[in-house]
Amino acid sequence: MVEYLSSELDAVFHALSDPTRRAMLHRLSAGERSVSQLAQPFDMSLAGASKHVKVLEGAGLVSRRVEGRTHYCRLEAARLAGAQAWFRYYERFWTNRIDTLQAILEAEDRERAIRKDSQGKPPVTGT
């Protein structure tokens, strides 16, 4: 398996574990947003939104710039690459397992079909 910096991957998965933070990332995928714009659909305070943004920043998923009193956030998708690689590894694992299961089930179906065909035919007698 590819080596991953565990603390970075842990931070990404922690950040993604919250539906509000996932929604914020989704909104940021369309472009830069202020913290108040990120807070608006959730009817939350700026302090609450800022806490979510700090978690996203800590995971390296968001960068923030300040213009006057307004904080603007931007998606930093590069950190998602490590999580995606982790998922790909396990996707290959499960794909192999599912392929094996499919082969077993198909073999069982063939055996059942053979038994069913042999039950419907008259017995073979020696002449």
Q: Is residue 124 part of a domain?
A: no
More confidently predicted of 123 and 96: 96
pLDDT at 1 over 60: no
Residue positions counted in the chain: 127
Q: Is residue 126 part of a domain?
A: no
Q: List, for residues 58-73, the tens digit of each pLDDT value.
A: 999 999 999 999 999 9
pLDDT of residue 15: 96
Q: Which class for 56: exposed (0-12), middle (13-18), buried (19 or more C-beta within 10 A)?
A: buried
Among 79, 65, 73, 91, residue whose Cα is nearest residue 28:
73
CA distance 110 to 117: 11
Give the range of the structural domain holding residue 112, as residue numbers without chain letter.
1-119
What 3-state DSSP class applies to 72?
A: strand
Question: pTM, whole model, 2 decimals?
Answer: 0.68
Structural domains in the chain (count): 1
More confidently predicted of 2 and 10: 10
Question: In this structure, what CATH number is given to the domain that contains residue 88?
Answer: 1.10.10.10
Q: Is residue 77 part of a domain?
A: yes
CA distance 27 to 42: 12
pLDDT of residue 99: 80
pLDDT at 2 over 50: no
Determine phi and psi for 116, rounding to 5 degrees.
-65, -45
pLDDT of residue 126: 58
